[in-house]
Amino acid sequence: MIAGCSDPKIDTSSMPASVVSVEKVRESLPSYKRSEFDRGLIIIATATFDGVDILNPQRMNAAEIAELANAQMHGLTGDQIIQRADKILRDRRARERDHAIRTLRRLEEKRSKAASDQQQLARLTIDSARYYTGVSPYGVPEPVIDLEVTNGTDQAISELFLRGVLTSSDRTVPWVDETFYYVATGGIEPGETQQWSLAPNRFGPWGDAQIPADAELTITLKGLRGSDDQPLWDSPELSESETAKLERLRDEYTGVALSSAE
């Protein structure tokens, strides 16, 4: 039945002509096709409205549905209305499938690009990293970070974005966990190895007098800039929501070819 019509014997005397016409078409169908006709009528009536779920429209009465559908179903038989509604559904599902596959490909490409960029970044290696307390030219203690890096990439590097974590065996929380930039004077050419002694701010966490002498420093590379000061290999990884969407789409569209050449 059409939404809002609880009785198949509808009183058409006070209804608009479009509703009477719809009811006549409905009555001409075998009883087993009428529910399919009702569903098709709702689909046709609501399909032209963006954002409307054609399978779950808001509650509408018979007159509203008939008025909306009349222009599109004028002159059609009941079977033709059912066929048109089926085509609307097929087209909608095809569009949704195409959109989902495009999204799937985009997310796959984004993840692949991020993984490729991480591989490129890993070619600049942190060969050694050491933290200790030295003495400044003014005779006061100051923290020092000694680094040795090798540029295994094919690009000259002007700046590094690093994360330093300083830990000791007697603590579960690091003494220091900070990110920082280092500008390599003159740059680092492909294949070149350089050693640096960095002097972090002694008034910050690196200068904590309680840090033991055997504290262990771990330096990881977070990003690079090239000789033109532009970021290198910085494609972002998928967010948690994007990863969840990717997995859902992959499960739903298993077997779909993802080649962008298609």
> How do residues 128-148 score in pLDDT, each as one tens digit?
999 999 998 888 999 999 999
Provide the pLDDT for residue 71.
61
Provide the pLDDT for residue 16.
44
Asked if 206 contacts 166 with a C-beta cutoff of 8 angstroms, the reply is yes
Distances from the Cα of 180 to the Cα of 41, 123, 133, 161, 209, angstroms: 64, 20, 19, 6, 21
pTM: 0.68
Provide the pLDDT for residue 136.
85
List of the chain residues with pLDDT < 50? 1-18, 20, 50-54, 257-262
Provide the pLDDT for residue 24.
80
Provide the pLDDT for residue 79.
86
> 194-203: per-residue pLDDT in tens?
999 999 999 9
Which of 109, 104, 205, 194 shows the shortest CA–CA distance to 146?
A: 194
Within 8 A by CB and 6+ apart from 253, the residues are 97, 100, 101, 104
Provide the pLDDT for residue 222.
96
